[in-house]
Structure 1
Amino acid sequence: MSVGIVSYGSYIPRYRIKVEDIARVWGEDAETLKAGLMVSEKSVPDLDEDTATIAVESARAAIKNGNIDPVRIGAVYTGSESHPYAVKPTSTIVAEAISATPVMTAADFEFACKAGSATVQSCMGLTSSGMIDLGMGIGADVSQGAPGDALEYTAAAGGVAFIMGNKESESIALIEDTYSFTTDTPDFWRREGSEFPQHGGRFTGEPGYFKHVIGASKGLMEKMGTGPEDYDYAVFHQPNGKFPTRVSKDLGFSRDKIEPGMVITKLGNIYSGSCMMGIAATLDQAKPGDRIFATAFGSGAGADAFSIKVTDKMEQFQKYSPKVWDQLKDPVYVDYAKYAKHKGKLKRS
């Protein structure tokens, strides 16, 4: 499978809210929450930011970082749980904004938090078949969480765009293989017209996240004949800090292998972009020859696992591309009132 990542770009809003500022409003113990979630703060969108604007900024960053001619992009796919329109694609907005139109194919994807990784797999198929030259897969969200709900402490905003191609000579990293594991598990959902999602309590952990992440991860390693010892880094979907820490240990990956991509602690959960942002943060630090194991998870439920190998092109790319962890520096903190205003939680009667 000669498919690679030609470029990538990310966008994170500068606004943040600390866990203790949310906990204070709802009378919760902040230290207990931070210890349990392994999250200290999360990103907050600006008043004029939504999934479309975040996806556009991520796409523009990917174009700039890789010095890509947008005319070469034959597919633009955006995965999200918070597309601004129920009927009107986000991806056409992105394609127009990066001057990729008329693009051969554009579509929006939904599969909870793995919609972003699904766009990458689709671009892999189109580029490897020769149907298109380059494909752009995006994971972006302005994640929702009802006031006072457990999700509110982690639901964040941000996006990542990956540009995929079929020329090894252009790739900064090669996708060695991928494997997916999917079942109908109702651990998380949001019906049409509902503003906030709901989660199925006891279904969230074992039958949801852990069953599918472990299933996809073991499936890929068995398919490839590899093990944790064959990888320098690992990234797993980050709904909080606790889940990826536990699943990496269960699969046999040491803590130091997941640390570079554990952006959840300062970013929060950006849903469809969560695992992709972890991969981007890891690629920022990886060296030629390094191998990265990554598994995205989406409620409903499914997981997509990837084996990635960094090429010699990465060193040049890293000289000019902004780093994910650098985007998490110098935040502008807001209190709960401003956060609620930014997120549109204040409604006029």
Structure 2
Amino acid sequence: MVGIVGYGAHVPSYRIKVEEIAKVWGDDPVALSNGLVVNEKSVPSADEDTATIAVTAARYALARAQIDPKKIGAVYVGSESHPYAVKPTATIVAEAVSATPKLTAADLEFACKAGTAGIQMSMGLVQSGMVEYALAIGADTSQGAPGDALEYTASAGGAAYVIGEKNTIADIDHTCSFTTDTPDFYRREGQDYPSHGGRFTGEPAYFKHVLSTAEMLFEETGTKPEDYDHACFHQPNGKFYLRTGKKLGFTSEQIKHGLLTPNIGNTYSGAVPLALSNILDVAEPGDKIFAVSYGSGAGSDGFTLTVKDDIVERRELAPKTQDIIDDKKYVDYAVYAKFKGKLKM
């Protein structure tokens, strides 16, 4: 059974509150916070990008995996904010964690689900016997134009997963995907900020794909919501996440550990990987996990997992996701704009 051998997370320590952004643009912070179910978001500092986030998360994942990095045969980094247009982030990560040069590596892009696509690709390589271990990462320092609604949610963070067949701490029991050409969100080459379809972002984009993938998972595994101890979904905001959980029949107890957006914003490719890492930090051996990602454009990847006994010891070998999130300091809009490069010369 292929599964997760190690996992690690990273979120920048800087935060900006919704009311700080609203103060600049004259919006109602209470209405925004209640409507989006977002209170604050993470902000990458001037020397943080997708590569540094991915490297930190990967090092934590390897610390928990307890394997020789030279055994990694594939590295995939999913993001829509790679630091280079032409130069892979994956090779930077591979070098930084001392992986063997005898590997395949690539950057992936499918909006917010590129990280989970990397997990699926890693599963295939491991199951085929082509590699012993693969490293899949979802990380982003996402963009939002000044004054755009995305400014209140677009944030930074990511998580990494070592995928293998030996000494797993969580087995991946099943995976499936649902994909269509639904262009609700896009950014052309050379553009600084993305465009989005406004009201079309929910339907027929997010909800159609997430709910369709979830229903496929239930059908293909012969399970129902009450068979799972934890569930998480992509979270462009807290409102969509909570609505999805309710529509699918999950209780607030089942979905609470996966909901991170209210305190760190939408980490895009890092959203479901981070939610899953937070669940793994608290899950008990034998627990069942249900996870569905979403990427605009549009598609969703779904996974069901079973937690193994070894997780109890191995999750203590690296910082836990909530502890990383709780280590924070606030900035005002001027510092935020400086860090995010919003000040154009």
Q: State the secondary structure of the residue aligned to 2:293.
A: strand
Structure 2 counterpart of 1:311: 308
Contact 1:76 1:103 in 2 (8 A): no
Tell me how far 1:329 sits from its aligned partner.
1.2
Q: 1:208 aligns with which of 201, 205, 210?
A: 205
Deviations, residues 207-253 of structure 1 (Å, cap 9, x unaligned) = 00000000001001101101101100100001000001001111111
Q: 1:340 aligns with which of 322, 329, 337?
A: 337
Structure 1 counterpart of 2:231: 234
Distance in 2 (alpha carbons) for counterparts of 1:18 and 1:101: 42
- Moved segments of 4+, more than 3 Å: none
Contact 1:81 1:141 in 2 (8 A): yes
Deviations, residues 118-172 of structure 1 (Å, cap 9, x unaligned) = 00000000001110000000001000000110111011111110000022xx000
TM-score (norm 2): 0.99
Deviations, residues 49-89 of structure 1 (Å, cap 9, x unaligned) = 11111111111111123222100100000000001111111
The alignment status of 1:173 with 2:170, answered yes or no, reads yes
Q: State the secondary structure of the residue aligned to 1:191.
A: coil
Over the aligned positions, Cα root-mean-square deviation in angstroms equals 0.8
Amino acid at match of 1:161: A
Match runs of 1:38-49 below 5 Å: 38-49=37-48
Tell me how far 1:264 sits from its aligned partner.
0.8
Distance in 2 (alpha carbons) for counterparts of 1:239 and 1:189: 15
Tell me how far 1:282 sits from its aligned partner.
0.5
Match runs of 1:89-238 below 5 Å: 89-167=88-166, 170-238=167-235
Contact 1:16 1:334 in 2 (8 A): yes
Match runs of 1:319-334 below 5 Å: 319-334=316-331
Amino acid at match of 1:211: K
Structure 1 counterpart of 2:62: 63
Q: State the secondary structure of the residue aligned to 1:137.
A: strand
Tell me how far 1:278 sits from its aligned partner.
0.3
Amino acid at match of 1:298: G
Tell me how far 1:101 sits from its aligned partner.
3.2
Distance in 2 (alpha carbons) for counterparts of 1:285 and 1:103: 35
Q: 1:282 aligns with which of 279, 282, 290?
A: 279
Q: State the secondary structure of the residue aligned to 2:4.
A: strand
Contact 2:5 2:64 in 1 (8 A): no
Q: State the secondary structure of the residue aligned to 2:282.
A: coil
Structure 1 counterpart of 2:16: 17
| Structure 1 unaligned spans of 5+ | none
Amino acid at match of 2:48: E
Amino acid at match of 1:347: K
Deviations, residues 298-319 of structure 1 (Å, cap 9, x unaligned) = 0000000000100001111123
Amino acid at match of 2:64: N
Amino acid at match of 1:291: K
Structure 1 counterpart of 2:257: 260
TM-score (norm 1): 0.98
Contact 2:63 2:317 in 1 (8 A): no
| Structure 2 unaligned spans of 5+ | none
Distance in 1 (alpha carbons) for counterparts of 2:240 and 2:320: 24
Q: State the secondary structure of the residue aligned to 1:65.
A: helix
Contact 1:14 1:332 in 2 (8 A): yes
Identity of aligned residues (%): 61
Distance in 2 (alpha carbons) for counterparts of 1:3 and 1:146: 41
Structure 2 counterpart of 1:301: 298
Q: How many residues align?
A: 345
Structure 1 counterpart of 2:2: 3
Tell me how far 1:103 sits from its aligned partner.
3.6
